[in-house]
Structure 1
Amino acid sequence: MFTAQAQDDPSLRYNMLKTDYKTKNYDSALKNLEWCLDNSPKLTANIYKYGGNLLDDVLKEATPEKKAKIAALGKKMYEKRFENYPDEDPAKAHSDYADFLKEVGGDKEEIFKNYDEAFKVDPTKLGVGSIISYFTTVIDKYKDTDLQLVFNTYDATVEAIDAKVEGYLDNIQKLHAKEDEGQTLISSEKRKLHAYTVNSKALGQVEAILDQKMEEISTCEYLIPLYTEEFEANKTNKVWVTRAINRMFKKDCTEDPLYASLVEQYQEIDPSPEASVLYAGLLMDKGETEKAISFFDKAISQETDPAKKAKNLYKVADIFKKRGQNAKAVSYAKKAIAAKSNFGRAYTMIATLYADGVNNCGTDEFEKRMVYVAAKTYALKAARVDPSIGVYASKLGKAYAANEPSKKLVFNNELGLKSGDSYTIKCWINETVRVP
């Protein structure tokens, strides 16, 4: 038994909160949480850490009556947190509060407001479901009144996700390098590899879902009038210009004169290698292919950052791909991989281009189906080095594996090859693979 004086000791009550939570003595823990909020809200930020976990656990089993009480206590707790620890991971705090309000049936505007606060600080602090929920609300609220805000929100989210994923992929690459050298990962490294893989995969899926939600409103029909209207006001804004270019390129709106104006403006305000690559694309549109390729190569050679160099090389590959010049597209995609070996999208581009070339490579069914072996190899490599596109890459790999030569086809092939033998694919692909 504690004396009345001891029970008024903030440190004691905080420790009781911790102990009660860990032993799942939730009723007592709730009382201690409320006491701490009323009497010592500044004692430690961990009050709010344990409090948040406690409320989440209690809500799982709560009756409607108890849920109302938990809602009131949660409101008090988060308000105290924002008041006393405004700089303690505010993005996560607002995201957690929005999630909590959703769970207790809180006001929709209040939920959106907290997601919005979290988003403005760091979009990646929102959970996967929270990002999707927030972005869906942004589209519903603003698609008819402020389309640029929707695009800005999308761009900021994707840019933040990409930056986060890049960090995970770099860490994955270092651990894979150890494995490839024959070293065994210790348990902590295995846990980290698993966490990096899971997190990058989750963020990659978020980006795919956001792209899907943007599909309806990010068409040339919407983009061209919007960017035409806002061009003069934003033409010196590098961020606006590059985002507009990227979106128009992605949605195949490059034949509109506005795209050329945007690229030329980008070249003027920021004569960077990336701008030069895009400008070279315009030269190709004008039929100045040799000059464009010279421009591409010069622009690439000027870039010293490996990640940026890889992205520029991939952009060149994409430009050739859109023009049906698959061999050149693959050549530049391979250069992108040489600059950044974990560039998953470069691998999947090669895989899809190889698969597209099946009917042009080989004289019989066996030789043509061997192309799928090469395509599968690149797809599965993408899934390994870049879990953020792992779902997509793995699906490609399975689809290509299903089209490889069957055992019967291998047995009857006219080249006398057996399973495990090397085979060099004819035509522009010129890859050596193993017979399955």
Structure 2
Amino acid sequence: MKKLVLLGLFIAINTISIAQQGWKWPEDVETAKEKNALYVDAVKSKQYATAQAPHQWLLDNAPDLNESLYINGAKIYEGLVDAESDPAKKVALQEKALQMYDDRIKYFGDEANVLNRKAFTAYKYYKGNKSKYQELMTLFDKTFDMNQAETLDNNLMAYMDVVRRYKLSGGAITDEEVIDKYGMISDVIDGKIKTGRNVPRLEKIQANVDKLLTATVTVDCQFVEDKLAPKMRENKDPKMAKKVFQLMLSAKCSDSPTFVEAAEIVYETEPAFGLAKVIALKHASGGDMNKAIEYYTQALELTDDNLKKSEIYLSMSQMYASNGNKSAARTNARKALANDPSASKAYTLIGNLYMQSYNDCKAGVSKVDDRLVFIAAYNQYKKAGDQNAMNSAKEQFPSIEEIFELGLTEGQSMTVGCWINETVILERRP
């Protein structure tokens, strides 16, 4: 019996201990519990003015009671701020709300997490007050430094806006430092996007961060070339290269060799279909076919999407066509169609190749044979559904006289020679 009593006493003591875990009640426990119950009930019903007095008693008499004292305290004073119309009182309540975060850190630590929450509240209260911009800048710098990839989404755009406001109000920050902060913020957004969560929202945040940058410093081609490109070249830093690439794209500097240089550095560490395609297109337009083919080939290897593959083959076809290699251009246009039968541009491109082959392929022996290239072109335009091109090609068909002179008949099959090497049905022009 005595053992049972002792066991019951042990269980009771242990239960009380567990129930009080995380709580540090003052000497006047009963009053403290009463005040705690009163203010918590008021917070739950959003009666923040009612919650203020019992909450303040606990702040005065049991400041290390429990972390919830400051979590709820922030709710109380932020709610009171929203309801207050008197400017002076509103400011006092704002300061009290922010003090809740500072005291939470003082008594319970967890500074990075708490600052992450305090920062956006401070931004809301201070963004219209120039005298607070230095304080905001310091707060966001520290918050971002402590949280990095864990920085809350709301704080990312707010941080860039703080940078903008601080810079434009005469704050001690250089253009290069603005760019550095922009780069750090963008890196965090990029990392969050790669997780696959909240992508549309994060892309919108990045778009706004980009706009805030251009509203803060004049980001033109010369700025990037002079200030950032040299840093990128020092050690081929992919993060700096990504900044250069993004900023040159934003400033419409994509024709610069530096743009391609930056893209290739980024591609080395982050190979991606879109990037390979961009690099290939730039090399193609610059006349470097070997480099273009290299990156087009890599782009094909980086996707299983047939539509994307079709885009690449069509781009390769256009490149070969512009360099006069009609056979290779047609081969790639056909590959584009194999991956996407609806790619009408590929049919049009082949039709154009045939139309342009008249002078190259004509033998001068038979006007009918020489003009078969136009029938071949017409057939391609027809598949593309390009009526204007069809009409242009048909105007170049052999005449009925030319057909009769050679003893030929409309409707008979004939072979187009030269590199085209296709069979067509003989038709006359209108």
Q: Deviations over 1:239-282 (max 9, x none)?
A: 11232133224433233343354456557x74956776565345
Aligned to 1:380: none
- Equivalent residue runs for 1:374-385 within 5 Å: none
- Equivalent residue runs for 1:227-242 within 5 Å: 227-233=228-234, 235-242=235-242
Q: Tell which structure's C-alpha radius of gyration is larger.
A: 2
Aligned to 1:207: 206
CA distance, structure 2, for counterparts of residue 208 and residue 272 of structure 1:
23
CA distance, structure 2, for counterparts of residue 106 and residue 314 of structure 1:
57
Structure-1-length-normalised TM-score: 0.52
Q: Deviations over 1:331-382 (max 9, x none)?
A: 99xx9xxxxxxxxxxxxxxxxxx9xx9xx9xxxxxxxxxxxxxxxxxxxxxx
Residue 54 of structure 1 pairs with residue 53 of structure 2: no
Q: For the Cα contact (< 8 Å) 2:160–2:213, is it kept in 1? A: no
Aligned to 2:139: 114
Aligned to 1:401: none
From the superposition, tell whether residues 153 and 57 of structure 1 become closer, same or farther in structure 2 (CA, over 3 Å): same
Aligned letter for 1:95?
Answer: F
Aligned to 2:174: 146
- Equivalent residue runs for 1:385-396 within 5 Å: none
CA distance, structure 1, for counterparts of residue 263 and residue 207 of structure 2:
26
Partner SS for 1:126 = helix
- Equivalent residue runs for 1:134-173 within 5 Å: 134-137=162-165, 139-140=167-168, 146-165=174-193, 167=195, 170=196
Structure-2-length-normalised TM-score: 0.53
Long gaps (5+) in structure 2? 1-26, 323-331, 349-382, 388-430
Q: For the Cα contact (< 8 Å) 1:34–1:73, is it kept in 2? A: no
Aligned counterpart in structure 2 of residue 73 of structure 1, from 78, 96, 102 = 96
Q: For the Cα contact (< 8 Å) 1:273–1:302, is it kept in 2? A: yes
Aligned letter for 2:184?
Answer: A
Aligned counterpart in structure 1 of residue 161 of structure 2, from 109, 133, 154 = 133
Residue 301 of structure 1 pairs with residue 324 of structure 2: no
Aligned letter for 2:81?
Answer: L
Long gaps (5+) in structure 1? 172-195, 336-353, 361-423, 429-436
Q: Deviations over 1:115-174 (max 9, x none)?
A: 33334424444358735632422552689962232223223333433444565xx56xxx
Partner SS for 2:113 = coil
Bigger drift between 12-21 and 100-109 goes to 100-109
Partner SS for 2:66 = coil
For CA contacts below 8 A with separation 6 or more, give which structure has more relative contact order: 1
Aligned to 1:247: 247
Aligned to 1:223: 224
Q: For the Cα contact (< 8 Å) 2:78–2:97, is it kept in 1? A: no
CA distance, structure 2, for counterparts of residue 147 and residue 256 of structure 1:
22
Q: CA RMSD in A?
A: 4.8
Distance apart, 1:37 and its partner CA: 3.2
Aligned to 2:113: 88
Q: Deviations over 1:50-75 (max 9, x none)?
A: 22221121112323453354245334
CA distance, structure 2, for counterparts of residue 80 and residue 297 of structure 1:
59
Partner SS for 1:88 = helix
Aligned length: 295
From the superposition, tell whether residues 27 and 124 of structure 1 become closer, same or farther in structure 2 (CA, over 3 Å): closer
CA distance, structure 1, for counterparts of residue 143 and residue 310 of structure 2:
33
**Once the two structures are aligned, what percentage of the paired residues are identical?**
14
CA distance, structure 2, for counterparts of residue 75 and residue 264 of structure 1:
46
Distance apart, 1:220 and its partner CA: 0.7
CA distance, structure 2, for counterparts of residue 118 and residue 45 of structure 1:
20
